[in-house]
Amino acid sequence: MGVPNFPLVTERLQLRPFLPADLDALHAMQRREDVTRYLYWGPRSRTETRRLLDRVIPLMAIDDSSDAVRLAAVLTQTGEVIGDFSLQRVSAEHRQGEIGFVLDPRHQRRGYATEAGREMLRLGFEAIGFHRIVGRCDARNTPSAQLMERLGMRREAHFRQNEFVKGEWCDELVFALLSSEWGLRPPPAGR
């Protein structure tokens, strides 16, 4: 795969690489305790968010020089950046990818993460050619687990206290989807 044609367009969203002008929108998500509760970091200061933005802006292809795509989800109707979606190559040999997602709480629970997540899976399977895509979350992160279930991903593992995060041992869930399943199982309509 080379560089996908951006933006990726869904019913209500456009997904495109991050831009320097996205600092405020990215910080609005990364500074929040509720958003970062089950992530490995955060809440982030503005300086930390700027460093993050500098790191993610170049991530727009999965090829010889880059292992990840990191995309801002823009609400088509308003032009607002409301989410942060990633697709990472975790193994070239085994054609394995991993998805990640963050949605601004002001725009949660309207199906935007489902819509963008489905597009990230499409990118991974149809453009990049992954054989398997996983998603991982803290076992207490119910919205994340439910999102992966809505995306048709199969819950494959519940690891007990396999990671020490933010001062405590945490359980982790692993969800996965195979390219053959993506082809066979049309994405569910709506929710």
Ligand X SMILES: CC(C)(COP(=O)(O)OP(=O)(O)OC[C@H]1O[C@@H](n2cnc3c(N)ncnc32)[C@H](O)[C@@H]1OP(=O)(O)O)[C@@H](O)C(=O)NCCC(=O)NCCS
Interface contacts to ligand X, rule CB under 6 A: 35, 38-39, 101-103, 108-114, 137, 141, 143-144, 146-147, 190-191
d(CA 164, CA 181): 33
As measured in angstroms, the least distance from the Cβ of 162 to ligand X is 15
166, amino acid identity = K
Nearer to ligand X, 3 or 185 (CB): 185
Nearer to ligand X, 1 or 107 (CB): 107
The set of residues, in sequence order, having a beta carbon less than 8 Å from that of 114 and lying 6+ positions away, is: 147, 150, 151, 191
As measured in angstroms, the least distance from the Cβ of 64 to ligand X is 28
Q: Crossing angle, helix 23-30 and helix 46-56, to 10 degrees?
A: 120
As measured in angstroms, the least distance from the Cβ of 190 to ligand X is 5
As measured in angstroms, the least distance from the Cβ of 76 to ligand X is 14
Nearer to ligand X, 45 or 146 (CB): 146
- H/E segment holding residue 149: helix 142-150
d(CA 6, CA 17): 8
Per-residue tokens: 113: 């993460």
Residue 59 neighbours by CB distance under 10 Å: 18
d(CA 132, CA 179): 6
Nearer to ligand X, 169 or 180 (CB): 169
Nearer to ligand X, 14 or 141 (CB): 141
**Pairing mode of beta strands 96-103, 132-138:** parallel
Nearer to ligand X, 59 or 145 (CB): 145
As measured in angstroms, the least distance from the Cβ of 109 to ligand X is 4
As measured in angstroms, the least distance from the Cβ of 114 to ligand X is 3
Report which residue's Cβ sits closest to ligand X: 111
